[in-house]
Structure 1
Amino acid sequence: MTTRRRLSLLRALAITLVVVILVAPLGWMVLASLKTNVDIYDASKAFVFTPTLDNYTTVLQQANYSRFILNSFWVAAAATFLSLLLGVPAAYAMSRFGMKRSALVVLMARIIPGVSLLVPWYYVFSNMRLVGSFTVLILSHMFVSLPLIVYILMGFFDGLPIELEEAAMVDGLTPIGTFWRICLPLAMGGIATASILSFIFSWNNFMFALVLSGRSTKTLPVAIFDFVGYASIDWGGLMAAATIVTLPIMVIALFTQKYIVSGLTAGATKG
């Protein structure tokens, strides 16, 4: 066996191992969502069992999870839209006008863990009587979504040739018109990437919603805890709810993976 073939075999084994490690918990989650609690605790029925949809019925009907799904979608969509509205012009300005200090602030905002701000946020928003509202959830999600969008789009705008904008202004376009008609259409791939990643973050966010949401604004990740009791855990319902949370994100990631990869590598080969 040649050295190249050995390396190929080793690479294939390493990839297989990584895939198994990543996929195995998801597979167990989906299988457990189709079992009763008795079957989940029975090791002999790990793969051979009688599937049931009772857990999904409990989640979607009895637990009123459709409301929580709508809450999660509304918060994620609103936070993403508002972050794009502010982040796209900010990223363009930082890229074109060399605003290094502002870019450093954005980078610092990405580094600071959001959980460290939960206590001051709760204090401020409680005094404003906003805790438990959609407003505070959207604003808290924007703290992470906005720097993420700016950081990604700066790479895209850095990769756009400045000559295109100069030619457009020679033809009579204003700087704003150049941004709107030239740069923005060319950066649609980056905008799509930033939107996808921002939406995924908001959809999966747990800590912010746990502290700042109310009974009527509870999102799906927080609602999953309803299946965790003091004395027992409804594993079947918990796994069904977790599957419902995970499935939309997996579908989005599957069909938009090329945009995500291009966004994460934007500007990497510049220069």
Structure 2
Amino acid sequence: MNKKILSNVLFYIAVVLIALVVLFPFLWMLSSSFKTQVDIISWPPKLFFEPTLANYRKVFEEQDFLKYFINSTIVGGFAVALSLLLGLPAAYSIARFAQKKLAVFILLARLMPGISFLMPWYIIFSRLDLMDSYVALVLSHMLIALPIVVWIMSSYFEAIPRELEESAMVDGATRQHAFLAIILPLSGPGIITATTLSFIFSWNNFMFSQVLSMEKTKTLPIAVYNFLSYAEVDWGGVMAAAVAIMAPAIALTMIFQKYVVKGLTMGAVKG
């Protein structure tokens, strides 16, 4: 009994230590967003300070934060929607017809550093007069979202028994109808998982927006960059902007956490 209690105590101590290590950067960022510039750069660091909302006022009043929020929502929403439209049939085809070469090709697009696509994207969109447009950002963000959708859903579709769609096809349904009427409704957790993860990756992307957008279509990560200048760094503004950017992503993750875990675990089990 004593050994069991000791093992439980050690387990919870280890969990608390790991949680502190993982959460420390976020907690530090959150506390710094309520500090003045002097308190942030003071040494040793101040654990007790008089909180201020001046940094958040800078973010929401001096910066056009609402515009950036709308742009990020539009770009992320359309990129994820188009990725689902193309990725779900592709994932189903990979899962049912063992198209491993196609899967590897899609994975390579995700593994390649995003900066390697910037110059081709810039040349193409500038010649098509699509710079500073939602089209350019949506297509570039699909490089992030589409491979995530395909790889999550292909493993998820493999876990769904073939007999379900085969029985529907015996009754006269086409493969396309069986996919829409049977496979997709059963794939809800996997679709939610792919949607959540791909949207968060798109939401946090900085590089494509920095190069392909200008004043009209800048996204939220640019709000952080606006607090950096040659002469100084407004650390309070940076921290407040980072917290404001992370809040929707954290809320989305917490809301769909159950479905994300279920989607990832079920996709790892072959039926």
- Say whether the fold is shared (TM-score over 0.5): yes
Q: Is the 8 A contact 2:152 2:267 kept in 1?
A: no
Show the counterpart of 2:84: 84
Distance 1:49 1:131, change over 3 A: same
Q: Is the 8 A contact 1:78 1:138 kept in 2?
A: yes
Q: Using the TM superposition, give the Cα deviation of residue 269 of structure 1 relative to its aligned residue in structure 2, in angstroms.
A: 2.7
Q: Using the TM superposition, give the Cα deviation of residue 6 of structure 1 relative to its aligned residue in structure 2, in angstroms.
A: 5.0
Q: Name the SS for the 2:160 alignment partner.
A: coil
Q: How does 1:102-113 map to 2 (within 5 A)?
A: 102-113=102-113
Show the counterpart of 1:16: 16
Q: Deviations over 1:115-142 (max 9, x none)?
A: 2221222222222222221111110110
Q: Is the 8 A contact 1:227 1:234 kept in 2?
A: yes
Say whether 1:122 aligns with 2:108.
Answer: no
Matched letter for residue 20 of structure 2 = V
Matched letter for residue 85 of structure 1 = L
Q: How many residues align?
A: 271
Q: Name the SS for the 1:227 alignment partner.
A: coil
Q: Using the TM superposition, give the Cα deviation of residue 48 of structure 1 relative to its aligned residue in structure 2, in angstroms.
A: 2.1
Q: Using the TM superposition, give the Cα deviation of residue 10 of structure 1 relative to its aligned residue in structure 2, in angstroms.
A: 3.8
Matched letter for residue 253 of structure 2 = A
Show the counterpart of 1:199: 199
Q: How does 1:86-235 map to 2 (within 5 A)?
A: 86-235=86-235
Which moves more between the two structures, 162-171 or 6-15? 6-15
Q: Is the 8 A contact 1:79 1:141 kept in 2?
A: yes
Matched letter for residue 229 of structure 1 = S
* Alpha-carbon separation, structure 1, partners of 2:5 and 2:140: 51
Q: Name the SS for the 1:216 alignment partner.
A: coil
Q: Using the TM superposition, give the Cα deviation of residue 12 of structure 1 relative to its aligned residue in structure 2, in angstroms.
A: 2.8
* Alpha-carbon separation, structure 1, partners of 2:99 and 2:250: 36
Matched letter for residue 36 of structure 2 = T
Show the counterpart of 1:52: 52
Q: Using the TM superposition, give the Cα deviation of residue 47 of structure 1 relative to its aligned residue in structure 2, in angstroms.
A: 3.0
* Alpha-carbon separation, structure 2, partners of 1:63 and 1:268: 44
Q: Using the TM superposition, give the Cα deviation of residue 2 of structure 1 relative to its aligned residue in structure 2, in angstroms.
A: 6.0
Show the counterpart of 1:61: 61
* Alpha-carbon separation, structure 2, partners of 1:251 and 1:265: 21
Q: TM-score, normalised by structure 1?
A: 0.93
Q: Using the TM superposition, give the Cα deviation of residue 152 of structure 1 relative to its aligned residue in structure 2, in angstroms.
A: 0.5
Q: Is the 8 A contact 1:152 1:266 kept in 2?
A: no
Q: Using the TM superposition, give the Cα deviation of residue 28 of structure 1 relative to its aligned residue in structure 2, in angstroms.
A: 1.4
Q: Name the SS for the 2:27 alignment partner.
A: helix
Q: Using the TM superposition, give the Cα deviation of residue 53 of structure 1 relative to its aligned residue in structure 2, in angstroms.
A: 1.4
Q: Using the TM superposition, give the Cα deviation of residue 103 of structure 1 relative to its aligned residue in structure 2, in angstroms.
A: 1.6
Q: Deviations over 1:199-218 (max 9, x none)?
A: 10010011111111111111
Say whether 1:75 aligns with 2:75.
Answer: yes
* Alpha-carbon separation, structure 2, partners of 1:211 and 1:8: 51
Show the counterpart of 2:255: 255
* Alpha-carbon separation, structure 2, partners of 1:130 and 1:171: 48
Matched letter for residue 121 of structure 2 = W
Q: Name the SS for the 1:52 alignment partner.
A: coil
- Segments of structure 2 that go 5 or more residues without pairing to the other structure are none
Show the counterpart of 2:41: 41
* Alpha-carbon separation, structure 2, partners of 1:16 and 1:157: 36
- Segments of structure 1 that go 5 or more residues without pairing to the other structure are none
Q: Deviations over 1:163-182 (max 9, x none)?
A: 11111112221111111111
